[in-house]
A and B are shown apart, each in its own frame.
Chain A
Amino acid sequence: MSSTQTLTFARAITEGLRASLESDDKVMLMGEDIGRLGGVFRVTDGLQKDFGEARVVDTPLAESGILGTAIGLALRGYRPVCEIQFDGFVFPAYDQITTQLAKMRYRSRGRVEVPVVIRIPYGGGIGAVEHHSESPEALFAHTAGLRVVSPATPQDAYDMMRAAIASPDPVLFFEPKGRYWSKADVALGGPVPDGVLDSARVARTGDDVTLVAYGPTVATALKAADALAAEGTSAEVVDLRAISPIDVTAVAESVCRTGRCVVVHEAPSFLGVGAEIAARVSDECFYALEAPVQRVAGFHAPYPVAKLEHEYLPSVDRVLDAVDRALAY
């Protein structure tokens, strides 16, 4: 049964979780405060009531414990979806994720698999205190064995969540928390579309410059594209969706056509996703490039206090500034 509903980003994830809980009784959710409270962002609201305490588990306050036991459950045939309450709190579990989860298939030569999904609300702009606004995706993308994705729209949130849970690989599912309350029509039900975990999506077509973004910065890039259109510049916006692997083909197809590329992410630029994109674009589009790849990103400083976060985060103005640089080159 399929239907279309207007949902917030958060609710679209809830529905993705619900659909997976309904279709596969091995799927279970684990995390801090996800049961009765429904999670601090209410993403799991109502799911414990509907699926019971064995499938929607309020865990002890221990992220390494959550991930470590999720690995054990996965080895036993379950499909745990773990919620990390905030980006900055994934690190107690970093050891389990990088030394165990990422390598289990490899070191067993494919004899076992650990289909664990790790949901991480990430990114800034919500006026939070320390450790609640970070973007650590590159740290995980740098680790072989982990898939890393980040949806930018409610529809993708719904589809990518179902795909992540169905994936035989561990998936880091980065949820742009600043977008949780944004709304859009979501087609519910129906099969999971192919390729949502490893293909980019053209969010807006254009000819003069390619803006590459993912998660929270797709909205920023689209706003910048609007502003550019008003000035007569046609910007294409590529929403990566997947950070590991990166859909280099889609990025190159666009940049080879426009000749200019601006990458936008909240994580620091130094050794970040934008650096990888720049390298790949220079490989694939060398002769088509009109300007060096520009990056608009966070700085090489710890995420600042809330009062300064809007100076730290990539803004529409900073994207426009980077586009100006690319056009003027």
Chain B
Amino acid sequence: MKIDATGGNDVAAADVTPLVQLVAPDGSRVVDDAGAGLRERVARLTTADLRAMYRDMVLTRRFDDEATALQRQGELALYAQSRGQEAAQVGSAHALAPQDYVFPSYREHGVLHVRGVDPVDRLRLYRGEDHGGWDPNEHNVHLYTLVIGSHALHATGYAMGIQRDGLVGTGDAGRDAAVVTYFGDGATSQGDVNEALVFAAVNNAPVVFFCQNNQWAISEPTTKQSRVPIYKRGEGFGVPSVRVDGNDVLACYAVAAEALERAHSGGGPTFVEAYTYRMGAHTTSDDPSRYRDRAEEEHWRRRDPVERLEALLRAEDGWDETWAADLQAEADAYGERLRDGVRALGAPPAETMFDHVYGTEHAQVAAEQKWFREYEAATAGEEVAR
């Protein structure tokens, strides 16, 4: 039997698939017919806006570096880096209105940063001291979801709720609301993600499916998930779909802004494929050298999204050495706060494992909690004896 053994991802083929790009890897603006409407959106951005995006990307990367180091030091059980995906995350998050709601997977540290979720809280899950870590309604950011693809349906249902609340197409930019859900290339194979697209399409729900195609699902290249570019999947469901250069923060911002405008105004869902690259390991438990080669990593290192925005700022006189030095100092202080904050997190009292299983008294839980409390009290200090 012959099996088509597609090995790694075909970098050359990927490069010829059309994608929205507004800033080339060298930092120069791209001017083509395709991007006219999107260019208009970014033309409105000031140098201060671009610097704000750059700052968010730099701090997101610092968060990654600090968290990775904390994992190595045993302070975290696990960590999943967003390295390489900062433009996709920060760009799209900058397009969100405060009333919009986000359903992330587990790698969207840049999105959470922009939404203002406390950095220490964001690491509680990875420390193994909380299954969530923040109040979803404080920043309109749902908890991380580790079961691949499940949350795409939650996002769609949430968007259906927004429709029912009459908060779509009001014409008031301060009221119209939408949902963005983030997931990976691998997730697009899950039934839940496909069902979410079905529900979003037939309900015309105000939801943006933001797929970060970082080209790997742990060790499996995207060719193991799809025979067509991922964005074409959305089209099949009748959802307007676009592939954007995920390492171009301006293109990601513009495409997300356009998709959100469609959702806000009652135009329904959009599927965005942000074509990017997972520069690091899948998680701190992973060893990518087992399945991908250095040349590919090097190819993408040269397309670093943070460097691209720096190049743009430099090319357009948006760079300033004092500002850049201040940002570095800010990042250092941020890193220090994060380290101290994480190290100060203890372990929750054991009995809290029985909290919030139900909203009202449940006899089974109550009985076991009582037993546990008595057992703990009776055995305190006894371990040593035995």
Contacts and interface: CB of A to CB of B under 8 A. Distances in A.
B190 A62 contact: yes
Interface stretch (A111-119, A247-255, A310-318): A310-318
Interface string B360-383: 001011001000100110010011
The range of chain B's interface size is 35 or more
A131 B128 CA distance: 12
A301 B5 contact: no
Contacts of A128: 77-78, 128
A60 B353 CA distance: 35
A128 B285 CA distance: 11
A38 B290 CA distance: 9
Interface stretch (B37-45, B215-223, B264-272): B215-223
Nearest to A34: B219
A300 B355 CA distance: 11
A32 B147 contact: no
Given A299-B368, A307-B127, A92 B224 contact: no
B128 A317 contact: no
Given A33-B220, A61-B220, A92 B192 contact: yes
B125 interface: yes
A269 to B, nearest CB: 8
A83 interface: no
Contact of B386 (A127, A306, A320): A320
A308 B5 CA distance: 44
Contacts of B192: 92
B290 A37 contact: yes
B228 interface: no
B364 A36 contact: no
A317 B383 contact: yes
Given A61-B190, A311-B353, A33 B218 contact: yes
A143 interface: no
Contacts of B224: 58-60
Contacts of B99: none
B132 to A, nearest CB: 9
A176 to B, nearest CB: 19
Interface in B340-354: 347-348, 350, 352-354
Given A61-B148, A61-B217, A301 B354 contact: yes
A318 to B, nearest CB: 7
A52 to B, nearest CB: 8
B146 A300 contact: no
B129 interface: yes
B186 interface: yes
Contacts of A192: none
A64 B195 CA distance: 13
A308 B353 contact: yes
B191 A92 contact: yes
Interface in B170-203: 186-187, 189-192
A311 B372 CA distance: 9
Residue among A38, A130, A304, A320 with max Cβ neighbours from chain B (10 Å): A130
Given A128-B78, A299-B353, A305-B130, A58 B379 contact: no
Interface in A229-251: none
B42 to A, nearest CB: 34
B86 to A, nearest CB: 23
Given A129-B125, A300-B364, A317-B379, A305 B131 contact: yes
B3 interface: yes
Residue among B125, B220, B285 with max Cβ neighbours from chain A (10 Å): B220
Contacts of A58: 219-220, 224
Q: Is the interface of A mostly helix, strand, loop or mixed?
A: loop
A264 to B, nearest CB: 15
A321 interface: yes
A304 B148 contact: no
Contacts of A302: 131, 357
Contacts of A305: 128-131, 348, 353
A270 to B, nearest CB: 6
A53 interface: yes
Residue among B5, B125, B224 with max Cβ neighbours from chain A (10 Å): B224
B364 A270 contact: yes
A132 B131 CA distance: 12
A61 B189 contact: yes
A178 interface: no
Interface string A282-299: 000000000000000001
Contacts of A270: 364
Interface in A18-68: 32-33, 35-38, 40, 52-54, 58-62, 64-65
Contacts of B190: 61-62, 92
Residue among A132, A301, A317, A320 with max Cβ neighbours from chain B (10 Å): A301
B325 interface: no
A300 B365 CA distance: 6
B295 interface: no
Contacts of A306: 77, 128-129
B291 interface: yes
B1 interface: yes
Contact of A301 (B129, B220, B225, B357): B357
Interface of A: 32-33, 35-38, 40, 52-54, 58-62, 64-65, 88-89, 91-92, 127-132, 227, 270, 299-302, 304-308, 311-312, 317-318, 320-321
Interface of B: 1, 3, 5, 77-78, 125-131, 146-148, 186-187, 189-192, 217-220, 224-225, 285-286, 290-291, 347-348, 350, 352-354, 357, 362, 364-365, 368, 372, 375-376, 379, 382-383, 386
Question: Which 10 pairs, one residue from A and one from B, show the smallest C-beta to C-beta distance?
Answer: A306-B128, A37-B219, A60-B189, A61-B186, A307-B347, A304-B353, A311-B350, A62-B189, A54-B3, A61-B189
Given A40-B285, A304-B353, 17 more contacts: A37-B290, A40-B286, A54-B3, A58-B220, A61-B187, A127-B128, A131-B147, A132-B146, A299-B354, A299-B372, A301-B354, A305-B348, A307-B347, A308-B347, A308-B350, A317-B386, A321-B375
